[in-house]
């Protein structure tokens, strides 16, 4: 019995050490103490003797670096170099670009939730709030999206001038150059408000403040380039675009054929060192109106005028539109959302070397520059633009579901409508939380490459989902385009966000986990860098340091996954409150994710790069952990309002269920079936038990959106909701309030009709009859009629004469889409 007791005590101690990720020296000392005590009280039994043999053969050599490196690290190092996946130069630069934030804590399997909750909540300064309340509000009142998208295919001239005058194109430019120098969160909030009114306008504002000349100049430009261009960009005197995508090189930007050759040319009697460029680009936003072109191209130096290398690499340069050989093509027409977009060509264009962004010293560094800037910009532009549309959609659709009636009841009372309506509200909250956390990280000085990919992918995908849900709920109201249709253009344009700044298929299958596994894992990047060192002694020393810690990390993940699975994660220390169980369950799955990541990389090696479906699902797990984290933080930062709990419960259950299912899909498709069986044992020792959000949550969330609740207002916060004539949302809100006020009166009328106390074929006739018979008062009749008038105004759709539609489609403005650009705003 004593021997069994010692065995169980030893096992418990070892499990505790592994669970708490004890260092190797702590393991060694603890194991030695256990053996000493066991020897003293039990003597040298067979079990104790085996323990001493294990200590002398394993633990002691592990602590002697010379022995460890020779017998453990060296063989592992040789094997690692053989199986290490080969990466192109662009892949290496993309992977190492940017920084990691909270997603790295999740990747390590033991997130510190207090650390997350202590991150400062993003806030606007007084100046930023004044800009949103002033110029942004004025801009939103100016917008007539039907006129922009259907009649003009462009912004009105007065709006272009307003954007330039008020500094909308200089939001990220420092004040010393005449810009606003706003925070990333302010930039995001501005786009949220505008995009709810018009994607065309928000795209026009977003691009000069996103990945492009201004941002590249800020980080990498020479002082001369900054002094010349940044003030002109801030004032709107220069309109920028950035040309990256080619007909043959979309997601695979490294395959671009656009190239430049270093050479000399005579200019104004002087021999100038420069670049002879040829390129063909397309899908370039603002190209038709651009005055300065940011260009990415491959640079070659066959005559070695710059140095020994011939293939210099991807380079970025700034080229004025009027440079000889530059051609701006005719406009593209992206899904009835006619922001300025088109192709650019260059034939035998000569530029001086100092037109390279950052000068000749930055030649060949363009891809890293782009990836580092994209790491931040991808967290702002598309997430904010998508969230802006989602906020309007949730605000409007909830009201419409109360206003629109079928079978004599509001359509929102049907469970078939409650389900998509709940998704709209919950996903909007989730999307907003994710983009807020990512924007906050940027303002903390980070360039969150992995987090920005997560947020861009999931926010735009969720946006597409709820765009379809909104269309399903609105029915005919949604499909008939016209000035009264407030969701049609958003529905049409949803694939645009899916496609740009890294196509979502590529982002999910290759970037999120492919980059995350290397950047976020505590030891993989160190091992990878060690394997690339040319000094074998230094390489082995660096690899030894990382791999021993990695081995302990792996053992810990096995134990933590099993223990947390068996205990239901109740032993996890987590913030107290009504959401404590979600923090605990997220920790459990983070530990399991750390385990399955190590197993996948060890088992599949370089093949993991080609196993895109497994990589995508691993990325999904990391993503849903990040999305769940951002939701829990958003709820905390907003004061933990109990009214919002149904929404937060829905999102948390949605994320946990999807995490569980992705684990299950990986295990079912894991190539090594023995390993798959072990993974299932350690990750789901008691089986799966997470489910989708239940119907009662759908009912509660739908109810919150179908009334003027604080939760509905918080979800829509930041959108343009001002009660002005130009805003259809004001009409919807007015109709909602009047409909709710009239519902008791309508119930009286219908009850009287059932009792045959009133007569009439229509509800209006029945209301008149109820008034005549004094079943309702004059005041009640007026309330009822006002509600009916407001309701009919909201559910109305536009109609046109055939010749009017034809005239618009063939109008001079629309023909400008296909006409050769002449440098104007058309």
Query: Do 451 and 391 have their domain in common?
Result: yes
The pTM is what?
0.92
Query: Do 56 and 103 have their domain in common?
Result: no
The three-state secondary structure class of 238 is: coil
Please say whether the beta carbons of 531 and 543 come within 8 A: yes
Residue 803 annotated in active site: no
Tokens of 175: 């004040």
Q: Where are the beta strands (DSSP E) in 440-503?
A: none
Q: Is residue 296 part of a domain?
A: yes
At which of 656, 682, 713 does a domain end?
713
Kindly tell me if the per-residue pLDDT of 820 is higher than 60: no
Q: Determine the Cα–Cα distance for residues 135 and 186; give it in Å rounded to an integer.
A: 13
Q: Determine the Cα–Cα distance for residues 766 and 752; give it in Å rounded to an integer.
A: 9
- 489-494: long-range contacts (C-beta < 8 A, 24 or more apart)? 489/145, 489/149, 489/198, 489/199, 489/336, 489/337, 490/199, 490/389, 490/392, 490/393, 491/467, 492/335, 492/336, 492/337, 493/199, 493/334, 493/335, 493/336, 493/337, 494/460, 494/463, 494/464, 494/467
What's the 3-state SS for 505-533? HHHHHHHHHHHHHHHCCCCHHHHHHHHCC
Give kind and range of the element (H or E) at residue 757: none
Q: Is residue 807 part of a domain?
A: no
Strand-pair category, 341-352 with 311-320: unpaired
Query: Which whole number is the average pLDDT over 805-823?
Result: 56
Tokens of 80: 């690692």
Query: Do 19 and 144 have their domain in common?
Result: no
Query: Do 268 and 282 have their domain in common?
Result: yes
Residue 238 CA, chain-centre distance (Å), reads 30
pLDDT digits (tens, 9 = 90+) for 661-670: 999 999 999 9
Length, in residues, of the chain? 826
Query: Do 166 and 58 have their domain in common?
Result: no
% of the chain residues with pLDDT over 90 = 65
How many independent structural domains does the chain possess? Answer: 5
Kindly tell me if the per-residue pLDDT of 75 is higher than 60: yes
pLDDT digits (tens, 9 = 90+) for 747-795: 999 898 888 888 889 888 889 998 999 999 999 999 999 999 999 999 9
Which is higher by pLDDT, 606 or 557? 557
pLDDT computed for residue 440 by the predictor: 95
The pLDDT-based confidence of 14 (bands split at 50, 70, 90) is low
Which is higher by pLDDT, 616 or 9? 616
Q: Determine the Cα–Cα distance for residues 798 and 483; give it in Å rounded to an integer.
A: 7
What CATH number corresponds to the domain at position 158?
A: 1.10.540.10
Query: Do 507 and 388 have their domain in common?
Result: yes
246 backbone dihedrals φ, ψ, rounded to 5°? -120, 160
Which residue in 501, 527, 746, 788 is the catalytic one?
501
Query: Do 153 and 191 have their domain in common?
Result: yes
pLDDT computed for residue 474 by the predictor: 96
The pLDDT-based confidence of 587 (bands split at 50, 70, 90) is very high
Query: Do 617 and 753 have their domain in common?
Result: no
Q: Is residue 48 part of a domain?
A: yes
Q: Is residue 813 part of a domain?
A: no
Q: Is residue 8 part of a domain?
A: yes
Q: Average pLDDT of the chain?
A: 89
Please say whether the beta carbons of 172 and 127 come within 8 A: no
Q: Is residue 493 part of a domain?
A: yes
Q: Is residue 86 part of a domain?
A: no
Tokens of 646: 């149904």
Q: Where are the beta strands (DSSP E) in 188-340?
A: 240-243, 259-267, 270-285, 292-300, 311-320, 326-328
Query: Do 252 and 185 have their domain in common?
Result: no
Query: Do 58 and 111 have their domain in common?
Result: no
Query: Do 112 and 131 have their domain in common?
Result: no
Please say whether the beta carbons of 209 and 230 come within 8 A: no
What CATH number corresponds to the domain at position 334?
A: 2.40.110.10
Please say whether the beta carbons of 776 and 749 come within 8 A: yes
Give kind and range of the element (H or E) at residue 15: helix 2-19
**Residues spanned by the domain of 262:** 240-377
Q: Is residue 821 part of a domain?
A: no
pLDDT digits (tens, 9 = 90+) for 467-525: 999 999 999 999 999 999 999 999 999 999 999 888 899 888 888 888 887 888 888 87
Query: Do 487 and 405 have their domain in common?
Result: yes
Q: Which CA distances in Å does 495 have to 194, 336, 339, 377, 477?
A: 19, 12, 15, 19, 21
What CATH number corresponds to the domain at position 537?
A: 1.20.140.10
């Amino acid at each position: 019995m004593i021997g069994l007791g010692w065995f169980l005590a030893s096992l418990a101690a070892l499990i505790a050490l592994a669970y708490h990720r004890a260092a190797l020296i702590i393991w060694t000392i603890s194991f030695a103490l256990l053996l000493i005590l066991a020897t003293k009280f039990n003597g040298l039994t067979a079990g104790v003797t085996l323990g001493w043999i294990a200590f002398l053969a394993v633990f002691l050599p592990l602590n002697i670096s010379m022995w460890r490196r020779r017998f453990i690290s060296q063989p592992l190092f040789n094997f690692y170099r053989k199986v290490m996946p080969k990466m192109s130069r662009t892949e290496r630069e993309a992977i190492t670009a940017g920084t990691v934030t909270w997603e790295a804590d999740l990747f390590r399997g033991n997130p510190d939730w207090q650390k997350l909750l202590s991150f400062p909540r993003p806030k606007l300064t007084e100046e930023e709030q004044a800009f949103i309340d002033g110029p942004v509000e004025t801009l939103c009142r100016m917008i007539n999206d039907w006129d922009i998208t259907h009649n003009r295919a462009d912004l009105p001239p007065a709006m272009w001038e307003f954007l330039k005058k008020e500094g909308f194109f200089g939001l990220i430019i420092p004040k010393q150059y005449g810009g606003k120098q706003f925070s990333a969160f302010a930039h995001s909030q501005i786009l949220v408000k505008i995009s709810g009114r018009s994607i065309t306008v928000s795209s026009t504002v977003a691009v000069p403040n996103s990945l492009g000349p201004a941002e590249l100049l800020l980080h990498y430009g020479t002082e001369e380039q900054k002094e010349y261009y940044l003030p002109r960009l801030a004032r709107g005197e220069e309109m920028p675009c950035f040309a990256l995508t080619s007909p043959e090189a979309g997601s695979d930007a490294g395959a671009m054929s656009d190239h430049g050759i270093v050479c000399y040319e005579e200019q104004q009697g002087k021999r100038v060192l420069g670049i002879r460029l040829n390129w063909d680009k397309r899908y370039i936003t603002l190209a038709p109106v651009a005055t300065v072109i940011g260009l990415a191209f491959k640079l070659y130096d066959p005559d070695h005028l710059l140095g020994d290398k011939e293939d210099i690499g991807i380079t970025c340069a700034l080229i004025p539109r009027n440079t000889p050989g530059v051609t701006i093509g005719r406009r593209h027409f992206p899904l009835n959302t006619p922001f300025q977009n088109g192709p650019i060509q260059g034939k035998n264009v000569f530029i001086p070397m100092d037109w390279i962004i950052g000068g000749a010293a930055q030649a060949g560094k363009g891809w890293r520059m782009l990836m580092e800037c994209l790491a931040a910009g991808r967290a702002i532009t598309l997430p904010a633009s998508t969230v802006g549309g989602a906020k309007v959609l949730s605000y409007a659709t909830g009201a419409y579901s109360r206003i629109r009636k079928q079978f004599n009841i509001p359509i929102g009372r049907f469970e078939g409508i409650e389900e998509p309506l709940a998704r709209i509200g919950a996903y909007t909250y989730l999307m907003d939380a994710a983009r807020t956390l990512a924007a906050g990280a940027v303002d903390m000085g980070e360039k969150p490459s992995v987090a920005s990919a997560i947020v861009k992918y999931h926010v735009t995908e969720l946006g597409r989902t709820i765009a379809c849900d909104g269309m399903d709920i609105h029915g005919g109201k949604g499909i008939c385009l016209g000035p009264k249709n407030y969701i049609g253009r958003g529905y049409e344009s949803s694939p645009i966000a899916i496609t740009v700044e890294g196509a979502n298929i590529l982002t999910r299958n290759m970037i999120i986990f492919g980059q995350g596994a290397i950047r976020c894992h505590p030891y993989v990047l160190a091992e990878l860098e060690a394997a690339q060192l040319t000094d074998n002694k230094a390489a082995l020393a660096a690899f030894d340091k990382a791999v021993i810690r990695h081995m302990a990390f792996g053992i810990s993940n096995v134990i933590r996954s099993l223990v947390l699975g068996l205990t239901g994660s109740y032993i996890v220390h987590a913030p107290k409150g009504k959401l404590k169980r979600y923090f605990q369950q997220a920790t459990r799955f983070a530990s399991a994710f750390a385990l399955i990541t190590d197993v996948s990389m060890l088992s599949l090696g370089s093949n993991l790069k080609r196993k895109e479906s497994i990589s995508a699902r691993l990325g999904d797990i990391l993503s849903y952990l990040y999305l769940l984290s951002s939701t829990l933080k958003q709820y905390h930062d907003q004061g933990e309002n109990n009214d919002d709990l149904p929404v937060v419960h829905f999102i948390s259950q949605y994320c946990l269920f999807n995490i569980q299912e992705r684990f299950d899909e990986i295990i079912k498709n894991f190539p090594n079936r023995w390993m798959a069986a072990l993974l299932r044992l350690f990750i789901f020792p008691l089986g799966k038990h997470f489910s989708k959000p239940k119907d009662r949550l759908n009912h509660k969330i739908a109810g919150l959106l179908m009334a003027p609740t604080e939760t509905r207002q918080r979800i829509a916060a930041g959108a343009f909701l001002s009660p002005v004539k130009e805003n259809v949302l004001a009409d919807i809100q007015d109709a909602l309030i009047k409909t709710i006020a009239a519902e008791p009166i309508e119930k009286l009328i219908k009850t009287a009709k059932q009792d045959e106390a009133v007569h009439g074929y229509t509800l209006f006739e029945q209301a008149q009859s109820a008034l005549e018979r004094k079943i309702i008062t004059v005041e009640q009749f007026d309330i009822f009629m006002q509600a009916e008038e407001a309701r009919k105004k909201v559910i109305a759709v536009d109609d046109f004469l055939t010749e009017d539609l034809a005239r618009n489609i063939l109008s001079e403005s629309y023909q400008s889409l296909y006409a050769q650009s002449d440098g104007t705003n058309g």
